[in-house]
C-alpha cells in the first residue's frame, strides 16, 4: 500500500514483468480495485494476450 485514507487507497504491485499502480475502494467491508495503470518493466518485451 502506498497510501490509505478512510475508504480509498493506492497500491503498487511489482510483478515479474510489469508494475501495477492500483486505486482501491472499500465497498461493503472489502477492498475492491477501481482502476489499474500498468507498465512493462524496461527489460521485458510487450506481448498482447488479447
Residue range 31-42, pLDDT digits in tens = 999 999 999 888
Question: Which pLDDT score is estimated for 50?
Answer: 63
Give the pLDDT band of residue 1 (cuts 50, 70, 90).
Answer: confident
Q: Is the pLDDT of residue 46 over 70?
A: no
CA angle in degrees (0–180, nearest 5) for 24-25-29? 125
| Per-chain mean pLDDT for the chain | 90
The pTM for the full model equals: 0.74
The grid cell for 11 is 497500491
User: How far apart, in whole angstroms, are the C-alpha atoms of residue 14 and residue 48?
Assistant: 19
Q: Is the pLDDT of residue 48 over 70?
A: no
First to last CA, the chain: 29
Amino acid at each position: 500500500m502506498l497510501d490509505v485514507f478512510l475508504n480509498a487507497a493506492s497500491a503498487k504491485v511489482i510483478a515479474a514483468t510489469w508494475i501495477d499502480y492500483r486505486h482501491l475502494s472499500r465497498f461493503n467491508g472489502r477492498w475492491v480495485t477501481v482502476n489499474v495503470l500498468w507498465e512493462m518493466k524496461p527489460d521485458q518485451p510487450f506481448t498482447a494476450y488479447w
